[in-house]
Amino acid sequence: MSIERISPREAQQRLRQGAFLIDVREPHEHAGGHAQGAALVPKASLLAEPARHLPAGGAQALLICQSGGRSLEAAQMLRTAGFAQVASIDGGTSGWMAEGLPMVVPEQDAHTRDFNERYARHLLLPQVGQAGQRRLRASRVLLVGAGGLGSPAAFYLAAAGVGTLRIADDDVVERSNLQRQILHAEARVSMPKVASAAVALQALNPGVCVEAVPERVTAGNVDRLLDGIDVVVDGADNFATRYVLNDACVRLGKPLVYGAVQRFEGQASVFDAGRHRGQLPCYRCLFPAPPPPELAPDCAQAGVLGVLPGLVGMIQASEAIKLLLGIGEPLSGRLLHVDALTMRFHEMRLAADPACPVCAPGAVSEQPSTNGADQVRAG
């Protein structure tokens, strides 16, 4: 038997005749208001204990959500469980409001309203929810580089609500950057990249704290830059920086989200050897020494497809968010390679090098020589 679907006005008429209204949305969704007279019972709670929440005496239960999908699904599940007197309201709360029917709008401060509205889609995810979103807000991420990889990573981390983004880059915006470095704009050419990044990110999400550090990562400042940081996103463009960053992350137990691009190809991984010595690899396990300069020309020499850093940078942002929330399966021990010309992805397993001078059990994670890598670019 199909579930009865009724309009908001018909629902209001039935309420006058003794029907019972149940709003099955999540608590944060009530920020914009709910139908007057509705009992606020999240869908999961209703389905877990229907006898507790459904009306006694044979009265009909009218279920309402935001647009009608979840209420219909809940009604179908209740019908299957033997509760026959249920109906779903088409159009949900949005339709109720559009019809001008009575609403109850709770009082909320501006901060709470912004939180509930801005992160509404995250709050619907069981893996995130209110607790996860608050965890993101309390998190601190170091972004090394505000260029091709750092731009999309920073945008999505700010949009996701990561509370503090510390961005380290000693470069200035050049017109040639604008083909791929989407944090920046024509009007900010010649501005320090970290200052330009702060302008863009604050415009997107004023609640995010952007710590702009106009410095290149070196052995002398890396510990200071990593202080208080939860996850590091590597958008560096040279091997020297990558080795310094990797070694410090191993020593201090910080997960490092790696990305690199060149021409039409990119790769990404997560190096978390500092917290899992002997089990997961570090960057030096993959690249013990930098390749010859002729095998690793920079973007200025080899070129790069403008959208490719966006693709890889978004993968890095996704990995960082997963690490901050402790969800999913990170790219630890795996190298993901993408070929944009064929749009093919393939994955290579990475093992910890038992002889690695940095991350092997018992190794002292200092700053081994980069073998002249200061002049070598990573794309």
Alpha helices (runs of H) in the chain, residue ranges in sequence order: 8-16, 43-48, 50-53, 69-80, 92-98, 110-118, 120-123, 129-137, 150-160, 193-204, 222-226, 239-252, 283-286, 299-302, 308-325
Return the residue matching tokens 């179908």. 76
- Bridge partners, 192 (sequence order): 172
CA separation for the pair 281, 350 (Å, rounded)? 7
Q: What is the pLDDT of residue 331?
A: 98
- Assign 277 to helix, strand or coil: coil
Q: Are 286 and 353 in contact (CB under 8 A)?
A: no
Q: Are 60 and 10 in contact (CB under 8 A)?
A: no
- For the CA atoms of 158, 159, 163, 167, the dihedral, rounded to the nearest 10 degrees, stands at 0
- 35, 33, 43: which is closest to 19 by C-alpha? 35
CA separation for the pair 217, 361 (Å, rounded)? 26
Give the tokens for residue 85. 């007197």
Task: Give the C-alpha distances (Å, rounded to integers) separating 219 from 64, 128, 142, 236.
Answer: 58, 36, 16, 14
Specify burial of residue 121 (Cβ count, 10 A radius: 0-12, 13-18, 19+): exposed
Q: Phi and psi for 188 in degrees, rounded to 5? A: -110, 15
Q: Are 87 and 6 in contact (CB under 8 A)?
A: yes
Task: Give the C-alpha distances (Å, rounded to integers) separating 9 from 14, 18, 170.
Answer: 9, 15, 61
Return the residue matching tokens 């993408």. 338
Q: What is the CA radius of gyration of the chain?
A: 26
What domains are there in the chain, each with its CATH number?
A: 4-107 (3.40.250.10), 139-375 (3.40.50.720)
Q: Are 289 and 371 in contact (CB under 8 A)?
A: yes
Q: What is the pLDDT of residue 377?
A: 33
Q: What is the pLDDT of residue 188?
A: 97
Q: What is the pLDDT of residue 294?
A: 65
Give the chain's residues under pLDDT 70: 1, 293-298, 364-379
Q: Are 168 and 142 in contact (CB under 8 A)?
A: yes
Give the tokens for residue 29. 């969704």
- 80, 86, 85: which is closest to 24 by C-alpha? 86
Q: Phi and psi for 334 in degrees, rounded to 5? A: -140, 140
CA separation for the pair 262, 113 (Å, rounded)? 43
Task: Give the C-alpha distances (Å, rounded to integers) separating 349 from 174, 286, 311, 343.
Answer: 37, 10, 21, 20
Q: Are 87 and 60 in contact (CB under 8 A)?
A: yes
What are the residue numbers of the active site?
299
Give the tokens for residue 14. 């039935």
Predicted TM-score (pTM) of the model is 0.81
Q: Are 317 and 153 in contact (CB under 8 A)?
A: yes
> Which amino acid belongs to residue 1?
M
Count the residues in the chain: 379
Q: Are 106 and 30 in contact (CB under 8 A)?
A: yes
Edge-to-edge strand ranges of the sheet holding 20-23: 4-6, 86-89, 61-64, 20-23, 39-40
CA separation for the pair 158, 181 (Å, rounded)? 16
**Longest CA–CA separation in the chain, Å:** 83
